[in-house]
């Protein structure tokens, strides 16, 4: 009888721990592997681990700023989660060249209400808003908080971009 009570208590503790981990990874944040060339030079093609922050935008959606590194559910491949830089907020006018050429841009897009404009740092290797247009804010899961691996590349990402009217 004692053994079954201990087993039940132990199982309950394991369940509670796993439940807490699930809640944390769903609503607060998690570790994630970065892969792909679209965010070069900010992130290497592979081998980096970051901490994703989900809670900041859930609690303070108005804290989203141009230049933030967003974690977004892909609008064209819903099973994938992507990392892109926030370029435009609702109401912004974004200069776009779908070919990825940095200059001269001749196309302008107004980011509609409830959407954002995202772009990879490596325009020539990125599928982003230039390809699929403004992204619904509902697809934004959070932001990249820090790079934790490799250790010699540890960095907490702070947004240093200033907006010019």
Q: Among 11, 38, 80, 153, which one carries the catalytic annotation?
A: 38
Q: Among 5, 84, 105, 153, which one carries the catalytic annotation?
A: 84
The number of CA neighbours under 13 Å toward the Cβ of 121 is 15
**Of 45, 64, 67, which is closest to residue 56 (Cα–Cα)?**
64
Q: Is 65 a catalytic residue?
A: no
Instruction: Show the tokens assigned to 102.
Output: 């940095």
With beta carbons less than 8 A apart as the criterion, state whether 54 and 27 touch: yes
Q: Is 63 a catalytic residue?
A: no
Instruction: Show the tokens assigned to 16.
Output: 């509670």
Residue keyed to tokens 């200059």:
103
Q: Which active-site residues does the annotation give? A: 38, 84
């Amino acid at each position: 009888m004692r053994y079954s009570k201990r087993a039940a208590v132990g199982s309950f503790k394991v369940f509670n721990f796993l439940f807490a981990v699930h809640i944390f990874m769903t609503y607060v944040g998690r570790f994630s592997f970065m892969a792909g060339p679209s965010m070069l030079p900010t992130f290497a093609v592979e081998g980096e681990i970051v901490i994703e922050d989900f809670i900041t935008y859930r609690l303070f959606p108005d804290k989203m700023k141009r230049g933030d590194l967003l974690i977004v559910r892909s609008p064209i491949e819903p099973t994938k989660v992507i990392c892109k830089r926030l370029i435009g907020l609702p109401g912004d006018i974004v200069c776009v060249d779908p070919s990825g050429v940095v200059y001269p841009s001749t196309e302008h897009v107004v980011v509609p209400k409830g959407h954002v404009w995202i772009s990879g740092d490596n325009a020539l290797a990125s599928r982003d808003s230039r390809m699929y247009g403004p992204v619904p804010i509902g697809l934004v899961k959070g932001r990249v908080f820090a790079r934790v691996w490799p250790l010699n590349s540890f960095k907490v990402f702070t947004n240093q971009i200033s907006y010019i009217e």
